[in-house]
Structure formats: C-alpha cells, structure tokens
Amino acid sequence: MSAQLTIGDLAARTGLAVSAIRFYETHGLVHPLRNAGGHRRYGRADIRRLSFVMAAQALGFGLSEIAAQMAHLPAHKAPSKSDWSRISKGFRADIDARIAALESLRDRLDSCIGCGCLSLESCALYNPADRAAASGPGPRYLMGEDPD
C-alpha cells in the first residue's frame, strides 16, 4: 500500500494537467517528496488534496484562500474525518449564503421584469450591496473594490 505516485499518475487520477500540479506546488497546495533523481513523488492523500482544491475552486475560492484552508491539514497524510468535516461545514455555510443571495436577487429581478425597469433608483439589478452579496466568495476581481 501507499505506493508513491508520479506527477503523471496524479495528473491522470485528478484530471489536472501536469503543469497545473507543479503550479499548485509553487503555491503551497501540495508538498511532494523527491526521489533520488529529483522527480516528484506523491502519496495517495494528494489525490484528495487536489480534489479539494478543484472543488473549492468551483465554489469560487482563489488559490490563496484555498491554500490558507489547506494549511490546517496535515501535509503528507490524508486529512482526518474531523479535519474534513470542519472544512466541509465551511463549504456548506458558503453555499447556503450564495443560494440565499441568488434567491434574493431573483426575487428582486422578478419585480424588475414587471416594471420594465424604467426607474433606475428602484432597480434590483442596480444595487451594489446585492451585487456584492450575490457572488459571495466568488469572482471578487470582477467586482472592483468597494461599491463606495
């Protein structure tokens, strides 16, 4: 058991490109060992670490945020059930928040459709607070800094 994986193996298992895995390493997301020849050797736990990265990315987290979360996980061992549970609950809370924001946006948009949105002041879509909330931890850079 615990056969070492090459970067190519890991790429095949995760669906990531080899270059992406190396890139993630430079950002502290994986910490492979090296064999005598200098080649990276991964453990099976790294498959799960990278899966976690992909899932978190899909939720809109940036790599630095993901790295911060992962810093609490053991580097070379599979995360324990409690490690995983804590992080999963954080995900869950985030997903809930994003659903709530989208529902709020949807409700407001419905009134927009009705009114023809001729009044900018009352338009649900033109509401900086809503826009910020709607994307949650999502693509922040799409929104500028503060709605000021």
Partner DNA sequence: GTAATTCCTCAAGTTCACTTGAGATCAAGC
Partner DNA sequence: GCTTGATCTCAAGTGAACTTGAGGAATTAC
**Contacting positions for its own copies (CB under 8 A):** 15-17, 47-48, 51-52, 54-55, 57-60, 78, 81, 84-85, 88-89, 91-92, 95-96, 98-99, 102-103, 105-106, 109-110, 112-113, 116-118, 120, 123, 125-126, 128, 130-132, 134-135, 138-139, 142-144, 147-148
Q: How far is the CB of 45 from its own copies (least distance, A)?
A: 10
Residue 74 interacting partner from its own copies, DNA, none (CB closer than 5 to 8 Å by kind): none
- Mention every residue, 6+ apart, whose C-beta is less than 8 A from residue 90: 69
Residue 147: Cβ within 10 Å count: 11
Radius of gyration of the chain (CA): 21
CB of 7 within 8 A of CB of 26? Answer: no
| Backbone torsions φ then ψ of 33, nearest 5 degrees | -90, 175
Residue 147 interacting partner from its own copies, DNA, none (CB closer than 5 to 8 Å by kind): its own copies
| Residue 69 interacting with DNA (CB under 7 A) | no
Which residues make up the interface to DNA (CB under 7 A)?
A: 6-9, 11, 17-20, 22-24, 35-40, 57, 62-64, 141-142, 144
